[in-house]
């Protein structure tokens, strides 16, 4: 058994038996008065006991008036309480030491049976490497559903198509042979596809020699036979496709070469069958004469081109309905600058006719510009270099911009 200790950290004193008061001691009434005094008012009542009757129940906290008796531990107590706690802590330390010594052996056995399974194996090494680099575990990016990716791609494609075709450029089909042999086309056949630059004329006006695509003025289309109107749904789809750029334009477009601009006077012909502008013959190496047709042009009287308009003609001079004929000829055949869509730059289809479209100025004398196929070299180099640049850009992005950690 362990020694009995007081139940409180305060000094616990047993109440010793009192002898009858003597003459020198205060009387019972005096003692009671002292107890009832303010300094003793809060003290608990003291029960009178006899020697040998003191027990733990009789032990109550009292003021430090008496010395505590010595309470010896029973003889059958083998060892003090501290010995038990000391032994227990020592045994615990020995057990912890034994377990710590077993850890390397367990890890070694695990590595032998399951290489790279996590006991200082591959995963632990990877985790340690990540901790050294200060990084966190990076989960692979979550893939979006296929239908969502398709919708996203379609939306992006439509937006880019709209922006490019309305503000940058557009591909047009050549429907007739009026521009042979510069541009090939024929009714019902697959004509050339040309890329039309819509940016250049935002900064300057067309000049003589430019091959332009324009919307037909009213004087050019007033006698056209219009197709019967379709139902509302078909018209809506056609308009939407034309607006976005995935369907042909809903207006009547033409492609011709600029011969004279506003303020100039044009006429045909001199004694060498050449067109004159301001009395000077034009140098037109691009003119095409169909087989079996004599090298002669339709004659017309001098016409002064109004300001803000263009006089246009086809390269297939004897098979072109242009400013000489449209609207009855004369000033009714000119094209307002506001109707010009853009400048024809390149033949993009078919591949066998891939080249640039020449813009030789007929009023400037002999042609000093490069051949048409040479003018197409820059765009060819641009397309050929686009893929390597795109690939290098993606590689640099992966290197310089690390993936976001989860």
CA atoms within 13 A of residue 401's CA, in its CB half-sphere: 6
* Cα-based distances in Å from 397 to 152, 156, 400, 405: 22, 21, 5, 16
Q: Are the C-beta atoms of residues 264 and 206 closer than 8 Å to each other? A: no
**Beta strands 275-277; 280-281: pairing state:** antiparallel
Question: CATH classification of 156-223+232-378, choosing from 3.30.360.10, 3.10.300.10, 2.10.109.10, 3.40.50.2020?
Answer: 2.10.109.10
Question: 311 has which bridge partners?
Answer: 260
Q: Are the C-beta atoms of residues 362 and 311 closer than 8 Å to each other? A: no
pLDDT for the residue 29: 47
pLDDT for the residue 218: 86
The single residue listed with the structure tokens 């590689």 is 395
pLDDT tens string for the chain (406 positions)?
444 444 444 444 544 445 555 545 545 444 444 444 444 445 455 455 455 555 555 555 545 545 555 555 555 545 555 444 444 555 656 666 777 777 787 777 777 776 655 544 455 555 566 555 555 556 666 777 788 888 888 888 878 877 877 788 888 888 888 898 889 877 666 678 888 999 999 999 999 999 999 988 888 877 654 555 556 676 666 666 665 555 565 568 899 999 999 999 999 988 888 999 999 999 999 988 877 666 778 888 999 999 999 999 999 988 888 999 988 888 899 999 999 999 999 898 888 888 889 888 998 866 444 444 444 455 555 556 666 766 776 677 666 655 544 4
Q: How many helices (H) and strands (E) does the chain have?
A: 8, 14
**Beta strands 275-277; 265-268: pairing state:** antiparallel
Mind telling me the catalytic residues?
A: 178, 256
The DSSP line for 186-198 is: -TTS---EEEEES
Compute how many other C-beta atoms are within 10 angstroms of the C-beta atom of residue 53: 9
pLDDT for the residue 388: 72
Regarding pTM above 0.75, the answer is no
pLDDT for the residue 386: 62
Using CB atoms within 10 A of its CB, is residue 46 exposed (0-12), middle (13-18) or buried (19+)? exposed
CA-nearest of 325, 314, 321 to 286 is 314
């Amino acid at each position: 058994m362990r020694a009995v200790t007081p139940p409180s950290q305060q000094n616990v004193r047993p109440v010793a038996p009192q002898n009858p008061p003597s003459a020198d001691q205060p009387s019972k009434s005096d003692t009671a008065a002292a107890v009832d005094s303010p300094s003793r008012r809060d003290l608990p009542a003291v029960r009178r006991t006899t020697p040998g009757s003191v027990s733990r129940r009789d032990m109550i906290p009292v003021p430090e008036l008496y010395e505590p008796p010595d309470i010896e531990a029973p003889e059958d107590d083998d060892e003090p309480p501290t010995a038990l706690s000391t032994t227990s802590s020592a045994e615990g330390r020995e057990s912890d030491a034994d377990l710590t010594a077993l850890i390397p052996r367990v890890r070694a056995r695990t590595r032998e049976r399951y290489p790279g399974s996590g006991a200082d194996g591959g995963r632990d090494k990877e985790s340690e490497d990540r901790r050294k680099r200060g990084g966190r575990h990076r989960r692979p990016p979550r893939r979006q559903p296929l239908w969502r990716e398709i919708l996203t791609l379609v939306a992006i494609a439509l937006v880019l198509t709209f922006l490019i075709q309305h503000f940058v450029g557009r591909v047009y089909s050549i429907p007739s042979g009026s521009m042979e042999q510069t541009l090939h086309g024929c009714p019902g056949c697959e004509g050339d596809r040309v890329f039309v630059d819509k940016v250049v004329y935002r900064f300057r006006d067309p000049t003589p020699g430019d091959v332009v695509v324009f919307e037909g003025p009213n004087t050019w289309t007033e006698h056209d036979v219009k197709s019967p109107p379709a139902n509302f749904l078909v018209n809506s789809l056609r308009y939407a496709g034309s607006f976005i750029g995935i369907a042909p334009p809903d207006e009547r477009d033409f492609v011709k070469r600029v011969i004279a601009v506003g303020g100039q006077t044009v006429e045909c012909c001199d004694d060498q069958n050449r067109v004159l502008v301001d009395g000077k013959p034009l140098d037109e190496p691009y003119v095409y004469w169909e087989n079996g047709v004599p090298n002669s042009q339709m004659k017309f009287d001098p016409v002064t081109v109004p300001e803000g308009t263009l006089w246009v003609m086809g390269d297939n001079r004897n098979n072109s309905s242009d400013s000489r004929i449209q609207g009855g000829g004369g000033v009714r055949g000119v094209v307002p600058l506001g109707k010009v869509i853009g400048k024809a730059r390149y033949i993009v289809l078919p591949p066998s006719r891939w080249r640039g479209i020449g813009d030789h100025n007929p009023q400037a004398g002999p042609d000093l510009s490069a051949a048409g196929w040479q003018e197409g070299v820059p765009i060819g180099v641009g397309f050929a270099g686009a893929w390597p640049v795109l690939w290098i850009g993606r590689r640099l992005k992966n290197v310089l911009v690390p993936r976001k950690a989860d």
